[in-house]
Amino acid sequence: PGFGKTQIAKRLGKDVGLPVLIANLDAIGGKYVGDSEGNTRLLQRIIERNSPCVVVLDEMNRFISTDGGSSASGNNVDAKTGGMWLTWLSSPEAKDIIIIATANDVSGVSTMIRAGRFDLTTYSSVDRSDEQVNQVWDLYRKQYKIPESDVNPRIPRISPAEQELICRNASAEWFNEPLEKAAQRVVFIAQTSAQAVADLEAWGKQFCVDLETGRRFGETTEPRKSAKPSANARTRSVSA
């Protein structure tokens, strides 16, 4: 979490000239039997009426059954609505919709990435180049008006959300402190969830495509050139 997956979707929508819809899957539940299923169908119809568009299904893994039983949240209702989404992804009604499904836990996403549902699977790594990290620093330094004299802290395996938090805390009236000191107040996900991060890295390098090179992580062959997505493109991706 904290790698700007929603911002990537918004930028994609801007690049292809399509509206971006953020589907709040947590809001589809209800207190009566059948509410969740009915609200899911309603949300799908709303998306279809706005086609072509870009749709973000955030934390989709929470609504997908891992072994045909309960979903990752342990709720059988969530598993049923998750099945409805999986069926809809392969339906003709979704063919002109660019769908981005995100997941913070990849332990049960095998049903999500079956052939025919998503065209591309990628992941966001905490191992970023200095250039990528500095680009994020520049963005948030400008947003939070950090003085030029304040030096960026060098923190290995830091996420963009953690970079923003450091800049926000450093500029806050009640802190008003250098970035280096503000960083000491942050608990970093690469440290607190080291095993989960390691599992994600291993999964990503085995199954995912590097968006910068256009080929699987670890491959050395030249990437194939692909056409720019259009309003009629049948393009879907899942990002962890």
**Tell me, what's the pLDDT at 52?**
93
What's CA 138's distance to the chain center, in Å? 22
pLDDT surpasses 50 at 231: no
**Tell me, what's the pLDDT at 50?**
93
pLDDT surpasses 50 at 22: yes
Query: Quick one: what percent of the chain has pLDDT higher than 70?
Result: 80
**Tell me, what's the pLDDT at 200?**
83
Query: Quick one: what percent of the chain has pLDDT higher than 90?
Result: 29
Nearest-angstrom CA–CA distance, 4 and 201:
17
pLDDT tens column, 46-57? 999 999 999 988
Q: Exposed/middle/buried for 111, CB within 10 Å: 0-12, 13-18, 19+?
A: middle
- Neighbour tally for 154: CB within 10 Å: 10
- The CA-based angle 121-104-22, given to 5 degrees, is 80
- H or E segment at 136? helix 130-143
Work out whether the CA dihedral 154, 155, 156, 162 comes out positive or negative.
Answer: negative
Q: pLDDT averaged over the chain?
A: 80
Give the confidence band of 163 by pLDDT, cuts at 50, 70, 90.
Answer: very high
pLDDT surpasses 60 at 103: yes
- Look up residue 228 and give its amino acid: K
Which pTM was predicted?
A: 0.70
**Tell me, what's the pLDDT at 180?**
94
Report whether 72 contacts 112 (CB < 8 A): no
**Tell me, what's the pLDDT at 215?**
82
**Tell me, what's the pLDDT at 71?**
46
pLDDT surpasses 90 at 145: yes
